[in-house]
A and B are shown apart, each in its own frame.
Chain A
Amino acid sequence: MAMAREKIAQAKRDAVDVRLATLAAPTGADWITATRAAAVARLRAMGMPGRRDEYWKYTRADALMQNEAPEAEVFDHDESPVFGEVDRLKIVFVDGVFDAAASDDLALEGVRIEMLSDVAALDIHWAKNLYGVLEEAGQTPVDRPLAALNTGFAEAGVVIHVTGKPSKPVSLIYIHKSTTSDAILHHLVKVESGAELTLLENGPAAARLNKVMEVDIADNGAFHHVRAQGRDHQRRAVAHIFARLGSESTFKSFSLTVNGALTRNECVIEMLGDNSFAHVAGAAMGDGADNPFHHDDTVFVTHVGRDCESRQVYKNVLRNGATGVFQGKILVKQGAQKTDGYQISQALMLDGDSQFLAKPELEIYADDVICSHGSTSGAIDEEALFYLRSRGVPVGPATDLLTLAFLAEAVQEIENPVLAAEIGDRLEGWLTRRRS
């Protein structure tokens, strides 16, 4: 037994060597060099995700940890980019590299935006207290080796200091150009007391993307996040969000995923202060007909403070052998009284070939809490479908209408109606394209 265990651990460490073989640590000031070295040490200690790891039971990490990015074609389509109608400050990354010429001026009242590469060269900067810090804290109680890898090697990313209420969202646009690009992005967001930011992200980014975002929200701060992961069929991505919330603060994050050979979205939230809100939601649509589709939402919400509300709302629409995964946990620590925790994960199977694997978990150490969770997977409601058809709506549009209705609970988590409408259009577009 012990020997078998040691063998598995060794294989996980060997996988780290394979991945790191051609990676060079970026240069920077002493503090970040030390932080990166510590992250690499963390990674070596835990090893890469293994086939026996409970946390990777439903998703194979091979493509995410092999030395080179598996090739991914650049998907050529004529759909206009999402958020096109939204007034926003655009920051463009091409295959994971900042494209200053394509980006807007980074000056915006209420927020200071810098590049991680610039910040890394400075000795005195608040980012020192955030870079890799929430990631490291998020390694307990579950290992997240790909996030440690990111902290160890990320060169690019944005560092956003929110001190007021900027007049428009900051929008990160990820363009995928090279079929072999391997991007590592690490963003930092610090929302000061009473400040508020809306952050948008869209685009496929690269053939392979490893992204970490650390978000620190002070008391009374608010952070709204809407992301649309690009339509490229063969892209692979692992993204981690680590968020820490002060009192009376708000964290809201919505992710839209359409297509993609492999997407693992982890969201790790620690609600430290009292009276805060953390809402995370996602809508994923996958069709496995011509390309594989594997989508994984892994969420871990820890309630430390009192009177906090957390919601996890995840919806998957799957067809032709697509796979959806949900691993969601609500951990309520001792003292986190009056916690209101809600978690729902649901899959709509448009045919019999697809699969949805869900692992909802509650772990509660406080006695005065309300927590509910549920997970379902099923086909279109035949009664509702017939009702619509009997009113003259043909089977295709009727199915689409019911599919959008199924996704509505997740989309409704987007507070801004303009952004919600943008996302709704994408969902509808995906369905309409598949109908003809």
Chain B
Amino acid sequence: MLNIKDLRVELEDEDKKILKGVNLDIEAGSVHAIMGPNGSGKSTLSYVLSGRAGYRVTGGTATLDGVNLLDLDPEERAAMGMFLAFQYPVEIPGVGNMTFLRTAVNSQRKQRGEDEMSAGDFLKLIRAKAKTLKIDADMLKRPVNVGFSGGEKKRNEILQMAMLEPKMCILDETDSGLDVDAMKLVSEGVNALRDKGRSFLVITHYQRLLDHIKPDVVHIMANGRIIKSGGPELAIEVENNGYADLLSEVA
């Protein structure tokens, strides 16, 4: 599904290298987790994959089902099935959450040459999905993320994911700022979407989330590289010992 080879990225405005040769292969239907100290480049990786401006790719490739992602506009990547649940969801005053979602769903359908979803079908679908995430009608009406609590913002990200049904889902610290109940809701939302045609890349600091969303592979990222990969036990090792041992191992 997602194949990243020796990806090297620096900031556009500054002479600062952030990703220094990332290699990652995610098969269809699998769940991969990335853990790593703050500032190691996890968010940068997720942004570069979804097409945010401000970065310069100086080497390597990233493909989704064989298509070079790095040549595409963000909207084209989204229509292909790439989705990023933001670490910091953006507030958009003046745009209703519902309008936002309907526009997104239909924009993607249009780009894929599919018919738009009727207003009635859309409403039915969003009501059902919102209910499982405990998102009330008021949250759907309000401007996108404006005045939402941290937990509401994260649940709103998962709602978008559920509505858009992407094939490659990247979750950037979706668990940070969530209480236990919200974490459960979010995890259930993610697990409900697990499918053999859909893959996940879960960026997190905590084993807690991975108790709910069981990963197939865990990677440790440090200083712009993936320094170690392994099974779920790697996350437990991090939880118990921190990153220090792993970092010294490779140093």
Contact = CB atoms under 8 A, between A and B. Distances in A.
9 contacts: A381-B92, A383-B90, A387-B92, A389-B75, A390-B83, A391-B160, A392-B164, A394-B111, A405-B95
A394 B50 contact: no
Contacts of A382: 53
B78 interface: yes
Interface stretch (A14-22, A90-98, A396-404, A413-421): A396-404
A405 B51 contact: no
Contacts of B104: 388, 391-393
Contact of A402 (B83, B92, B105): B92
Given A389-B51, A391-B164, A393-B104, A406 B94 contact: yes
Interface in A68-107: none
Specify which of A389, A401, A404 lies most central, judged by the most chain B CB atoms within 10 Å of its CB.
Answer: A389
Interface residues of A, number: 23
A401 B93 CA distance: 11
A384 interface: yes
Contacts of A401: 95, 99-100, 103
A392 B106 CA distance: 9
B108 A392 contact: yes
B220 interface: no
Contacts of A398: 75
A25 interface: no
Contacts of B74: 386, 389-390
A45 interface: no
Interface residues of B, number: 32
A172 B1 CA distance: 62
B92 A388 contact: yes
A391 B165 CA distance: 11
A411 to B, nearest CB: 10
Interface string B98-127: 011001110110010000000000000000
Given A390-B74, A391-B104, A392-B111, 19 more contacts: A381-B92, A382-B53, A383-B90, A386-B90, A387-B92, A388-B92, A388-B103, A389-B75, A390-B77, A390-B83, A391-B160, A391-B164, A392-B107, A393-B75, A393-B104, A398-B75, A401-B103, A405-B92, A405-B143
A284 B93 CA distance: 19
A271 B73 CA distance: 53
Interface in A353-387: 381-384, 386-387
Interface of A, secondary structure class, is helix
A413 to B, nearest CB: 14
A354 to B, nearest CB: 21
B140 interface: no
B86 interface: yes
A395 B111 CA distance: 13
Given A389-B51, A392-B104, A393-B104, A405 B93 contact: yes
**Which of A394, A398, A402: most chain B Cβ within 10 A?**
A394
B48 to A, nearest CB: 12
B92 A392 contact: no
A408 interface: yes
A398 B99 CA distance: 12
Given A386-B53, A389-B51, A395 B75 contact: yes
Contacts of B164: 391-392
A392 B94 contact: no
B52 interface: yes
Contacts of B203: none
